[in-house]
Structure 1
Amino acid sequence: MFGDMMGMMGKLKETQQKVEETKKRMDTVLVDEKSTDDLLNVTVTASRTIKSVHINDSLLEDKEQLEDYLILVINKALEKAESIYENEIAAVAKDGMPNIPGMDMFK
């Protein structure tokens, strides 16, 4: 019984390390999003840090339109980044979870 417990603890520690490595890797995964008319392009990391914003000069003439574009495009990019981040972390966590009856949390 103690051997199983030690094995599970080792597996959990290994999984925790893999999760941390995955979180660091998410800093290098880039998500690009653009407006439908390609006037605004945003790049964020999967860990949800804005890396770049490219604005077409025509948007600089209309502050309100630019603000709307920024909100829409950045939110779309962040949603995609969050989805990637959560899926990657869940995959690592699921792979590393010991098989404990009744603890099927990651189906």
Structure 2
Amino acid sequence: MFDKLMAAQQKADEIKKRLDTVSVFGEVEGGAIRITATANKAITAVEIDEEFYKQADKEELEELLLTAINKVLSQADIVSATEMQAATKDMLGGLGGMFGQ
């Protein structure tokens, strides 16, 4: 039983490492602002089109940045949840053997 639990923990660690390599994106204004993050919700890049930046006012820029950040975090949640669901299904299938199923 302990071996199966250790294997499940190892699988969860592997998924976390894999999610660090998956990039997700959130953008607004047709790509004028683009945020890149890992599926583990670490922001890795913020890109703002120079022409858009020159024309945008502070409040507009702040609001659009928040929107883009929320979009990328939502995408990260979706990818992470999908990976974890697949892993949970695999782990539960493996744990079923502990109970004679």
Superposed pair shares fold, TM > 0.5: yes
List alignment gaps of at least 5 residues for structure 2. Answer: none
Query: Given the alignment of the two structures, is residue 19 of structure 1 paired with residue 12 of structure 2, yes or no?
Result: yes
Query: Given the alignment of the two structures, is residue 75 of structure 1 paired with residue 80 of structure 2, yes or no?
Result: no
Equivalent in the alignment of 1:59: 53
Q: Once superposed, what is the RMSD of the aligned Cα atoms?
A: 1.6
How many residue pairs match? The answer is 93
Given that 2:25 and 2:75 are in contact with CA atoms closer than 8 Å, whether structure 1 keeps it comes out as no
Q: Shift in Å at residue 10 of structure 1?
A: 2.2
Identity %: 38
Looking at structure 2, the residues matched to 93 and 65 of structure 1 have their Cα atoms a distance apart, in angstroms, of: 42
Whichever of the two has the greater Rg, that structure is 1
Given that 1:45 and 1:51 are in contact with CA atoms closer than 8 Å, whether structure 2 keeps it comes out as yes
Equivalent in the alignment of 1:105: none
Tell me which of 81, 84, 99 is aligned to 1:89: 84
Q: TM-score, normalized by length of structure 2? A: 0.82
Looking at structure 1, the residues matched to 53 and 61 of structure 2 have their Cα atoms a distance apart, in angstroms, of: 6
Q: TM-score, normalized by length of structure 1? A: 0.78
Letter in 1 for 2:68: V
Looking at structure 1, the residues matched to 53 and 63 of structure 2 have their Cα atoms a distance apart, in angstroms, of: 10
Given that 1:44 and 1:50 are in contact with CA atoms closer than 8 Å, whether structure 2 keeps it comes out as yes
List alignment gaps of at least 5 residues for structure 1. Answer: 1-5, 101-107
Q: Secondary structure at the residue paired with 1:28?
A: coil
Between Structure 1 and Structure 2, the one with more helix by share is 2
